[in-house]
């Protein structure tokens, strides 16, 4: 009887600890329950309140959260445009203990029909990756997005297509 009580207690404690661990849900929204500190919670990394080149468009905020095996990034932005204009969001990341392009050095341009042909100079200590999200115009194929990445830790960086998808988003208020 004592062994059953101990096993039941251990099972209850294990179940409580598993349900107490927060889990980030990737669904295009950021609920207040997902924001906080620690594993399984998003933390606000920064906001941008300055002017954008197109009114009411561009990066608004950036959140990051981790689990035991994942880095989750929530980009809050309004990049869509009309009139046949494809908008791009470029996320540059520096990864600890991995080589890349040092601060103050121009990134190598990537050949092809891509916004990555430009050679920006960043102030990240090391730029290891860039992730590109290209959104289709609102008036053409609304909701389509195209994904790619570049690894700057290799000798000859090239753009790798990651496919296309529908955006996870909630409708914008009118």
Co-location of 73 and 129 in the same domain = no
Co-location of 88 and 165 in the same domain = yes
Give a yes or no: residue 17 inside a domain: no
Three-state secondary structure call for residue 29: coil
**Higher pLDDT pick, 21 / 128:** 128
Tokens of 39: 């594993």
Given a contact cutoff of 8 angstroms between Cβ atoms, the answer to whether 131 and 149 are in contact is: yes
Expressed as residue numbers, the domain containing 161 is 81-169
Co-location of 67 and 89 in the same domain = no
Give a yes or no: residue 144 inside a domain: yes
Co-location of 127 and 58 in the same domain = no
Co-location of 89 and 158 in the same domain = yes
Give a yes or no: residue 31 inside a domain: yes
Co-location of 134 and 109 in the same domain = yes
Please report the pLDDT score of residue 168 as a whole number: 52
Give a yes or no: residue 70 inside a domain: yes
Size of the chain in residues: 174
pLDDT tens digits, one per residue of 73-102 = 888 887 767 677 778 888 898 888 889 999
Alpha-carbon Rg for the chain, nearest whole angstrom, is 21
Co-location of 109 and 151 in the same domain = yes
Give a yes or no: residue 10 inside a domain: no
Please report the pLDDT score of residue 20 as a whole number: 45
Q: What is the pLDDT confidence band of residue 107, given thresholds at 50, 70 and 90? A: very high
Co-location of 165 and 85 in the same domain = yes
Given a contact cutoff of 8 angstroms between Cβ atoms, the answer to whether 84 and 137 are in contact is: yes
Closest of 158, 91, 161, 159 to residue 127, by C-alpha: 91
Mean pLDDT in the chain?
77
pTM: 0.68
pLDDT tens digits, one per residue of 115-137 = 888 899 998 898 999 998 888 87
Please report the pLDDT score of residue 16 as a whole number: 39
Co-location of 28 and 108 in the same domain = no
- Does the pLDDT value for residue 1 go beyond 50? no
Into how many domains does the chain fold? 2
CA angle 52–57–61, rounded 5-degree value: 85
Q: Which residue has the tokens 């994904």?
A: 147
Co-location of 107 and 136 in the same domain = yes
């Amino acid at each position: 009887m004592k062994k059953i009580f101990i096993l039941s207690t251990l099972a209850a404690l294990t179940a409580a600890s598993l349900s107490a661990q927060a889990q980030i849900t990737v669904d295009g929204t950021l609920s207040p329950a997902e924001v906080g500190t620690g594993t399984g919670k998003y933390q606000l990394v920064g906001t941008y309140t300055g002017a954008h080149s197109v009114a009411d468009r561009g990066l608004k905020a950036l959140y990051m959260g981790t689990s035991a095996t994942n880095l989750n990034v929530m980009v809050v932005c309004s990049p869509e445009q009309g009139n046949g204009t494809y908008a791009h969001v470029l996320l540059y990341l520096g990864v600890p203990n991995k080589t890349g392009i040092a601060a103050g050095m121009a990134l190598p341009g990537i050949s092809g029909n891509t916004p990555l042909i430009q050679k920006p100079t960043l102030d990240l200590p090391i730029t290891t990756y860039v992730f590109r999200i290209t959104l289709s115009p609102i008036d053409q194929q609304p909701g389509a997005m195209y994904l790619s990445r570049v690894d700057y830790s290799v000798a000859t960086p090239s753009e790798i297509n990651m496919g296309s998808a529908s955006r996870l988003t909630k409708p914008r208020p009118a």
